[in-house]
Amino acid sequence: MSNETKKPQDDKELLYKALGVMLLIKDKFSDEFNEIFQKANASKEDILKTVDETKEKASQEKERMEDGLKEKVKSIVQEMGLATKEDIDELKELIKNNKT
């Protein structure tokens, strides 16, 4: 097990950052949709393009957040000294080879 201990502040900080990002995304969506509705004379193609761009931005941000959370979970698992699937598979292989 690592000498470093997980600090509750680290988890709170990650949570606050995630909430902040979600609020920024909400504000961005709100701003972009307000623009769409303000452009009443805009063509259907322009509106669809803006919606598609907004969806893409949201998808990219979601992926970025998921990647960050996955890395944090990996870090916590490593700090706690928990065995990974790969560790268990390696042990199974060693046991299997030693039986023969």
> Domain-by-domain residue ranges, the chain?
8-99
CB contact at 8 A, 28 and 57: yes
| Residue, of 1 and 50, whose pLDDT is higher | 50
pLDDT for 48-95, tens place per residue? Answer: 888 999 999 999 999 999 999 999 988 888 888 888 888 899 999 999
Distance of CA 13 to the CA centre of its chain: 15
Please, what's the b/e burial string for 49-66 (b: 16 or more CB within 10 A of its CB; e: otherwise)? ebeeebeeeeeeeeeeee
Q: What is the pLDDT of residue 4?
A: 54
pTM of the model: 0.44
Which comes out higher in pLDDT, residue 81 or 29?
81
Tokens for 13? 């900080």
Write the CA distances from 82 to 25, 38, 59, 74, 95, integer angstroms.
34, 54, 31, 10, 19
